[in-house]
Amino acid sequence: MAYEERLGFIDAHLPLILDSARNPLAGLKWWTTLDEPFQALAACCELSKATKLANPEDFICHLPVHQDGCCNGLQHYAALGRDVSGAKSVNVLPSEVPQDVYGAVCDIVLEKIRKEKRDDCRDIAELVEPLVNRKVVKQTVMTQVYGVTYYGGILQIRARLKETEALDSKELSLATSYVTNLVFASIGDLFVSTGKIKTWLREIANEIAKAGLPVQWVTPLGLQVIQSYTKRMSNKNFINSPTNNMATLNIVRTPAAAKHKNAFPPNYIHSLDATHMLLTARSCFKQGVTFAHVHDCFWTHACDVDDMNKICREEFINLHKLPLLENFADFVTNNLLPVIKDDRRKDRLTKLLKNIPPVGDLDMEEVKKSVFFFS
């Protein structure tokens, strides 16, 4: 919904808003019908107080205003890859109305289903078409950027399809596998650069861990991050002598390559997300803007919303103007490569580090114009 429509909604419902504030329990109780009723009631009370003043602009609002990032893990991926189509779907680029990435993925999935139904007359496509909607794909799209595996996606989509109560057990198994494959493929269609960057990060992490080192990197703020995923290894040493036969057991822990590989892309994106939050907090503090946050939800006072919006966007641009992937490759080259003893693995890692995924044509300055980047 565009901001003009949101303002129109307030005007159209003003009598209900005022009734909710003045008679929350004895009135029409409109506030109880909303998604977050107590947050809505708090806003109704503040607006009611403001309307009692001769000049509502003189009202001092004590209600914190919060703004959420739009699937911000994918926002970081889109910025890393300068991915225009991906950036548009998660509101990194400006648009008249907020873009819905979950709906966009759902549309691509349905398009694939309809095409297969036309081309192959596949029974499974015809079966699932009426069941696939935004709710079915949302959780998998949301968590895919943070490392959900194919098996995890299977569990998520199975649960959503099961809720429809439209499939028997055999149909549910077939439909789950079919839809999960389409969802993962559709995310790749929408975020082309994301898949390439994620694969590159995973391959590097795999080589580092298999070389016996923990995956590590330094954030743009200088914080060194070291993954600590290990597995237990044991070696038996036998001591044989004329008077004694004895075996000793040595327990050691070595990097768990599979865990390092799967965890690194989401952990790296989390570190960028935390960096953006800290940069925003620091700039708000310097400019006297009150700031609070939970993950990608930023709060400030109503009078400072415009300032926080400006700071939030500027710091995202400043962060992604840095050569982030190149800096990571340089860190590995300078700090990890020299201590790897396996020459073949060192050669493979060297080639990977030089083969940084190409980027698209996204102009990061456009973020400043995006009303719904954080909204």
CA pair distance 243, 7, nearest whole angstrom = 91
Q: Running DSSP on this structure, what letter comes out for residue 338? A: G
Q: Based on the number of CB atoms within 10 Å of its own CB, is 142 exposed (0-12), middle (13-18) or buried (19 or more)?
A: middle
User: What six digits make up the tokens of 88?
Assistant: 């548009």
Question: Which candidate in 68, 120, 347, 363 is catalytic?
Answer: 68
Show the CA angle centred on residue 276, arms to residues 271 and 279, nearest 5°.
120
Q: Which amino acid is at 60?
A: I
CA pair distance 158, 154, nearest whole angstrom = 6
Q: Does 138 participate in catalysis according to the annotation?
A: yes
Host H or E run for residue 292: strand 292-294
Q: Does 261 participate in catalysis according to the annotation?
A: no
CA pair distance 313, 82, nearest whole angstrom = 16
- Name residue 225's beta-bridge partners: 217
Which has the closest alpha carbon to 69: 265, 254, 309?
Answer: 309
Phi then psi dihedrals of residue 180, to 5 deg:
-60, -45
Radius of gyration of the chain (CA): 26
CA distances to 218, 283, 317, 324 from 221, in Å: 8, 14, 15, 12
Question: Which candidate in 259, 296, 307, 310 is catalytic?
Answer: 296
CA pair distance 209, 220, nearest whole angstrom = 23
Which has the closest alpha carbon to 221: 262, 276, 259?
Answer: 276
Question: Which candidate in 88, 112, 138, 198 is catalytic?
Answer: 138
Q: Where are the beta strands (DSSP E) in 135-257?
A: 216-218, 224-226, 230-240, 245-255
CA pair distance 250, 235, nearest whole angstrom = 5
CA pair distance 328, 201, nearest whole angstrom = 10
- Output the CA torsion sign for 84, 89, 93, 94: positive
Q: Does 68 participate in catalysis according to the annotation?
A: yes
Q: Is residue 360 classed as helix, strand or coil in its secondary structure?
A: coil
Q: Which residues are catalytic?
A: 68, 138, 296
